[in-house]
Structure 1
């Protein structure tokens, strides 16, 4: 997936690489209902991460109160709070209805659009969610999280250019936003812009030297570019920080095999196979066994 951190979709001709997060976008979607952090889904945030897919960190710009003392605004406030509670119970249809009524009464209240976008994305209404984030940005063109979240959704719909543009807009406003570099790297890999994707992973790791998924994904990309020495070092870094990350052992094994180190590759494949077996991941366990047979 990567969270919006993602996972890599890279597959080596002989031994497909595993990503440590969900497949597709490394997206992390940090979901905010009202003023409270409600949870995360494994796609790096709507604040995006899942190449690994895609996990999010969305820092909310949600205001605590609807700034209007009129009776209509009070009704809007009640509807908004009702929508928040319904969303927390995963009643997304009810939440969407409440946020929509809030917008009818308070059409410039950004949190209602933002939360409706989240609820719509979680209920599969991606195009409608994109429209909500677009409305947020029309009301506040400096909303970094709205750019990041819309970028995640655009990535999911295959609009890679749009996703990259959104992540770039977020980074223009906050050059230290790790998730935006991570997610832009995922989109750039899929768009075939491998060198600039590598630069994005470099920047993400510089800002967060303990980002296991970024090391794993950069290793996959370096292997794809033929830099097996660099890839192995990235997998080493990932394993130092997450010693039970089966995907990193498997990926390091593929890089070692490509470098001619059959013995080292076998050891890594055996470790990966054991971890996958313990996790009852029969599909990946079988794929590792097949990789061992090909050595």
Structure 2
């Protein structure tokens, strides 16, 4: 008998999107405690294109020592195809989704992926596979920060910078669910209707008015943009308030400390968790949280999906369609 194969997108060399090649590769098999998932859809996240470039935007000491060929992608939604030894929580045919193996080696841009059984949750009843694949990394980043790191205490007023993006659009909903009285969303003007539909109380179009000119006394700033100019948002936060960076940013820490502002980074990172994802699935099924889809690409067009992602200004998530159903 020949070796079972599948179609997948592999990275053969670090670099531009063209290095992502759609090809036939060996199908993985689940080991002890693992599940083989027939992938129906795979989400795209910033760590995917960081990995594709070889993590050149990371300090050298923090770069993972991964070597091509690699299958990228940590967010999947699909159907259990086979079980590894000792797995009793799932059965073949179960519909599941998950953030798989993060921050370890990914494997989601493929027709089949192996996942630890504990990294999976039952697919939300209210979502199809495309929508479910858009949830795990971005949704868990926001969920774990709000409900674990902040312990459901976001403060009265929360400012979300980059509110229309993957993490941002989940964050505005989850801080509201956690008790924030006022949620301020910062994005370009074309996203205003989308964000108000998610519950944003006040919208700031940064292309017309910088947030630092019109926002004051936020208890918490969730910054999903970061970058070298992140410090410009310091005036938006009250003395004793907090900044929660999702990506690396320059916040002028001495100035922030002088203003009584705490920067909550280096203390938490999103992690794979089937139990957290199950709790998030309940919020999705009750309608308290919705998922936004920016665009869907077929698996074979993963390179085009990466090019689109790097243009920025997304409204929700980009997803790869792997199976027709």
How high is the TM-score relative to the length of structure 1?
0.27
Larger radius of gyration: 1
Q: TM-score when scaled to structure 2?
A: 0.25
- Structure 1 or 2: more helix by fraction: 1
Larger strand share, 1 or 2: 2
